[in-house]
A and B are shown apart, each in its own frame.
Chain A
Amino acid sequence: MRIILHIWRQRNAGEKGRMVRYELPNVSEHMSFLEMLDVLNEELTMKGEEPVAFDHDCREGICGMCGAMVNGIAHGPLPGTTLCQLHMRHFKDGDELYLEPWRARAFPVVKDLVVDRSAFDRIIAAGGFISVATGSAPDGNAIPVQKESAENSMDAAACIGCGACVAMCPNASASLFLGAKIAHLGLLPQGQPERESRAVAMVAQANRELFGSCTNIGECEAVCPKDIKLEVIARMNRDFIRAKCGVG
């Protein structure tokens, strides 16, 4: 099939970017979205034009490295799917697709579709952990964990840190990302001692990184490739308020 791509090209953070139109006449329906970009890049290289830079690594939907806006939707039209797991059979002959990098002040563009998401790492460094030094752990079965808590914790822990939630949010809020980590650790008995300080430290860091606030729009949940639920944001707010006001 024939696919027309309009891709954001930007040489580096300092230069202005623009949309550039490309046409791919023979896209196989079995290709993944990123393989289509590989083919485009091979063609560009042969023509002596610089290939499109885009982040990717595992190509099986778990590393969280890939992602772009496709016609205004983070990771494209298929729910619960990263860009690398989106296959071209979900598009039709003649489709025009607009590809842009994640849009958020806290994720500055590096080049073309590549952005800098290091703010996420700094948020984790601020408190997204349980402080247990190697060697100091008790036996794995010393503290039972309710099955339901473990399952809910795992639901939140499935976050891959791709940044789609931020890119899709009109406020560029990182609340779904923060909430996912706060819920993952806060739902386990091991995470209780630092539960309140964790929420405070992570939220403070997110503010320093200039992520926006959450206004419960829900775009993040709609595009999350791992189906992280909005409930985790409620949990973050509760832990934060409890820490600040001693209630909740």
Chain B
Amino acid sequence: MELDSKSPAGPIETRWERQRFNLKLVNPANKRKYTIIVVGTGLAGGSAAASLGELGYNVNCFCFQDSPRRAHSIAAQGGINAAKNYHNDGDSVYRLFYDTVKGGDFRARESNVYRLAEISLNIIDQCVAQGVPFAREYSGYLDNRSFGGAQVSRTFYARGQTGQQLLLGAYQALERQIGAGQVTMFPRTEMLDLIVVEGRARGIVTRNLLTGAIESHIADAVVLATGGYANVYYLSTNAQGCNATAIWRAYKRGALFANPCFTQIHPTCIPVSGEYQSKLTLMSESLRNDGRVWVPLKKGDKRLAAQIPENERDYFLERKYPSFGNLVPRDVASRNAKQVCDEGRGVGESGLAVYLDFRDAIARLGKNVIKERYGNLFDMYERITGEDPYQTPMRIFPASHYTMGGLWVDYNLMSTIPGMYVIGEANFSDHGANRLGASALMQGLGDGYFVLPNTIGDYLASTKFEKVDTGHAAVREAEAQVAAITARLLGAKGTRSVDACYRELGKVMWEYCGMARNAAGLKQALAKIPELRERFWRDVKVLGSGEELNQALERAGRAADFFELAELMCLDALNRNESCGGHFREEYQTPEGEAARDDEHYSYAAAWEFRGAGNAPVVHKEPLTFEYVHPSQRSYK
């Protein structure tokens, strides 16, 4: 299969403008004749559904939560990047483009990244106009802060709740369209399959989570905005409901899945406290500005932190990276924490944590300064752990929190199934092998407000649509598949709960396809995952029926898809014989222990094609060329 990115050639600065001119348009009076399905209501889906409604399309919008306002974009804390250069500090669209390509370790498509940087300007304008209460300076103008991976201040924020405020902006715009009758909202409704008729995406099959009814919805185009798959690790910073079902079922209908092994592990999260743990909570990275990371020198040292004398502590980041110290990038900090815990030097009851110690900072600056800088984070930590970080060091450990991989899309954000678009974290397009802080919000809103509404018209205007109704054979077949999965889950009548099975999968993925990977481990995982999957289907116990609100059934269906996706992630990780960004293969590192990229052999996006259950998927390669930002090695010594 030839992967055509449809990315325009010529000067990068004018590619998006030229593309918009070349795309066909749907005239205003004709827009109401088209129906578009949008699945997911986070920053990408919410903004897309609202914008498409404003344009005059009929939109059917779906979310599994009870309200579109609950989508997990709401939990993003830090901020959103935009190349406004309001601070006159040398920022520009080109610099944001450059930082993002480099931050992604040269595994993203240049054209897409440039466009993202370009429309970052419009996003801020739009959000301000909607009433997003961004932080302001005393002058009344917008405030900015700096963030990792950049030397300029380009991050706009609303306290520690930027994601919430941006999402509420998109949600309110969406509700306005719902009130106007332009968008029909289907909350508590989960997409369980994609309907493909004669090679085109023509609708979705859903389950009404309250009544259990399996329903089909027909449309002229389908937009998936269903987020990432970090919950494949069971424990992550994602919400409980975040899942890969929509993109996975679309993959099984023919959409290619690109770079599934590109996942991001965040170094500063509150560690696991017990087997019952359901999720991990992120603590802002800014803590590493003043906190010192350490573990005991001796294995199995169970003394309290205060009883361990200075000469028996190992400040391992400062020791190994004298110039960056505790401020090494996310991936480096995460990998090193894992390493010392693997050596048996981890702290806390589980031994899976390292200390983040503010003792010296408090002695140097005083408690008040520390409180001013990090007071809310210290309170949050105390609320969850019951420990006072002013007195004892924090315990932190890395956790999975974002996935750069996702369904393959072209420059117009269309997948390999004509008529199916994928936006936001669900696609693979803009972050390469590593995402920079404050860029996820930018991409979600960029795709939803400004890219998709411009590109989807081209497909609609240039396609002749056959009439399809819910009696069509393809619809019946998809519904039957969905019903079969539900029946199989309820019919297993095994002896183990969904979580008992799912937790095991998470452990295998974390161990072998987490922060550091190697061929031997990945091969082990590839042997174990099918076993675990078989056990899941044999032993799972889901009570109740399919004709009512059944949360265990929902969770079982999502877990079932993770059992399959996990295998593809390991295959991709094994295929990519290099280290880049969040993908660290232990065999491929520089003598200093840094990620060693192999541009000669792996400068491509790996897009996997499903070839039927039981058959190995096939990898297709989209070569990546860098005309503007030339690949170089990252170093933090």
Contacts and interface: CB of A to CB of B under 8 A. Distances in A.
B359 to A, nearest CB: 24
B281 interface: yes
B274 interface: yes
Interface in A4-55: 11-12, 28-32, 34-36, 38-39, 41-42, 45-46, 48-51, 53, 55
B453 A134 contact: yes
Interface string A129-164: 111111111111101111100110110011011000
Interface residue range, chain B: 35 or more
B386 interface: yes
B549 A53 contact: yes
Interface residues of A, number: 79
Interface stretch (A165-173, A182-190, A231-239): A182-190
Contacts of B185: 121
Interface in B159-192: 159, 161, 164-165, 168, 171-173, 175-176, 178-179, 185, 187
Interface in A83-121: 85, 87, 89, 110-111, 114, 116-118, 120-121
A67 B199 CA distance: 44
A123 to B, nearest CB: 9
Interface in B93-133: 122, 124-131, 133
A65 interface: yes
B323 interface: no
Contacts of B126: 132, 134-135, 137
B588 interface: no
Given A35-B278, A130-B130, A140-B84, A161 B138 contact: no
A56 interface: yes
A94 B127 CA distance: 50
Interface in B365-389: 383-386
A160 B69 CA distance: 9
B14 interface: no
Contact of A30 (B127, B161, B385): B385
Contact residues of A: prevailing secondary structure: loop
B548 interface: yes
B122 A124 contact: no
Nearest to B137: A147
Contacts of B141: 141, 144
Contacts of B68: 121
Interface in B39-95: 47, 50-51, 54, 65-70, 72, 74-75, 84, 86
Nearest to A181: B172
Contacts of A63: 65, 70, 72, 74-75, 239
16 contacts: A29-B386, A41-B552, A63-B70, A87-B386, A110-B549, A116-B66, A121-B69, A124-B172, A125-B175, A134-B450, A136-B129, A140-B127, A147-B136, A158-B164, A160-B164, A190-B131
Closest 7 CB pairs of A and B: A144-B140, A137-B129, A125-B179, A129-B172, A154-B133, A137-B125, A125-B175
Interface of B: 47, 50-51, 54, 65-70, 72, 74-75, 84, 86, 122, 124-131, 133-142, 158-159, 161, 164-165, 168, 171-173, 175-176, 178-179, 185, 187, 210, 239-241, 273-274, 276-279, 281, 383-386, 449-450, 453, 497, 499-500, 541, 543-544, 548-549, 551-552
